[in-house]
Amino acid sequence: MMANKRVSRVREALLERNLDGLFIASPINRRYLTGFTGSAGYVLITAEKAYLLTDFRYMTQAPQQAAGFEIVEEHRQDTLDIIKGLLEAANVKRLGFENELMSYSMYGKYEASLKPVELIPASGLVEEIRMFKDDEELAVMKEAADLADRTFMHMLEVIKPGMSELEGALELEFFMRRNGASAASFDTIFASGERSALPHGTASSKLLGSGELLTMDFGALYKGYCSDITRTVMVGTPNDKQREIYNIVLEAQLHTIEQLRPGMTGREADALARDVITRYGYGEQFGHSTGHGLGMEVHEAPNLSKVSDTVLQPGMVVTVEPGIYIPGFGGVRIEDDVVVTETGVRRLTESTKDLIIL
């Protein structure tokens, strides 16, 4: 019973925060806790009970997916009354809610309707639990990463000078969808030549030219989990400068993966890559963090950044993605997904990082 183990973790966190219950409106947290994939609903967890509130469209699906949850049918106009009744029955006085998600007007409505229940900000409670991936999640994430690897291999066969970035990005996404992805996990970055200096250069109508760096950053959303990979390749023969920055980014990326350990903070992990790039004089051209957590969302906790105090622990999945971006020239980024183990990390994405010349 996967859902129940996650619910127990929520209950432990509720105890620590002196809360009697947790109200969840986030679609991703709802799916994580219940297994329910429908597009609407709320989760209410108390010391004794776990409810999934959803509407009539899901009265067959919800009980099948949300093992261990009591399914309550709601109709939008009576949602608050139903919640109020459930809270009273469970004697909830302090209810945690996702303050970073709820709009000001929604908060006003809930606050007034649920009185005397006190609404306590609890954003991040489920996200902290989600940082630790169980074996089932890791198996799905490995499949999502394998799909990204296969997509990269496929792209190596189709990329040629004269193709537009948009055409390339479309082919890439089409391949992922045809091979099991429900969507791209984010807007595909497909940026060539000078545009490769844009860390978030989504595909344009520009044609791939010979002698250009091409950065592809993409991922598959697969069974609810994301992969996220970046490879930079050469279209045509590289010049010395292109080769130089490629090798520096590669050294930084390999060094980080080699040295990452549980017990390090996000800041220490960030410095592994940053120090290498800075040593070669390109620190200013590496303007983003070294990596981010990955899971049901493409960006989640923990971050590998200059400001992260989170301690890395086994079961966390993060990206390692140093880059160098030189305006007017181009850029290189190399990104893998890794899972933190007892002794270091294990790669999920396994595509080659040798400089590929197409």
Rounded to a whole number of angstroms, the minimum distance from the CB of residue 343 to Zn ion is 24
Rounded to a whole number of angstroms, the minimum distance from the CB of residue 233 to Zn ion is 15
**Residue (98 or 337) nearer to Zn ion, CB:** 337
Rounded to a whole number of angstroms, the minimum distance from the CB of residue 291 to Zn ion is 7
Do residues 317 and 135 make contact, with C-beta atoms less than 8 angstroms apart? no
Structural tokens at position 87:
């809270």
**Residue (149 or 335) nearer to Zn ion, CB:** 335
**Residue (217 or 270) nearer to Zn ion, CB:** 217
**Residue (54 or 188) nearer to Zn ion, CB:** 188
Rounded to a whole number of angstroms, the minimum distance from the CB of residue 299 to Zn ion is 7
**Residue (46 or 188) nearer to Zn ion, CB:** 188
Rounded to a whole number of angstroms, the minimum distance from the CB of residue 341 to Zn ion is 20
User: How many CA atoms, within 13 angstroms, populate the side-chain half-sphere of residue 37?
Assistant: 9
Do residues 349 and 185 make contact, with C-beta atoms less than 8 angstroms apart? no
Do residues 197 and 112 make contact, with C-beta atoms less than 8 angstroms apart? no
**Residue (117 or 348) nearer to Zn ion, CB:** 348
User: How many CA atoms, within 13 angstroms, populate the side-chain half-sphere of residue 207?
Assistant: 6
Rounded to a whole number of angstroms, the minimum distance from the CB of residue 90 to Zn ion is 40
Do residues 293 and 299 make contact, with C-beta atoms less than 8 angstroms apart? yes
**Residue (217 or 300) nearer to Zn ion, CB:** 217
Rounded to a whole number of angstroms, the minimum distance from the CB of residue 150 to Zn ion is 17
Closest CA to 297 of 349, 217, 225: 225
Binding site for Zn ion (CB under 5 A): 217, 228, 230, 319, 335
**Residue (90 or 226) nearer to Zn ion, CB:** 226
Rounded to a whole number of angstroms, the minimum distance from the CB of residue 199 to Zn ion is 10
Cβ neighbours of residue 347 closer than 8 Å, sequence gap 6 or more: 257, 336, 337, 338
**Residue (108 or 287) nearer to Zn ion, CB:** 287
Rounded to a whole number of angstroms, the minimum distance from the CB of residue 189 to Zn ion is 7
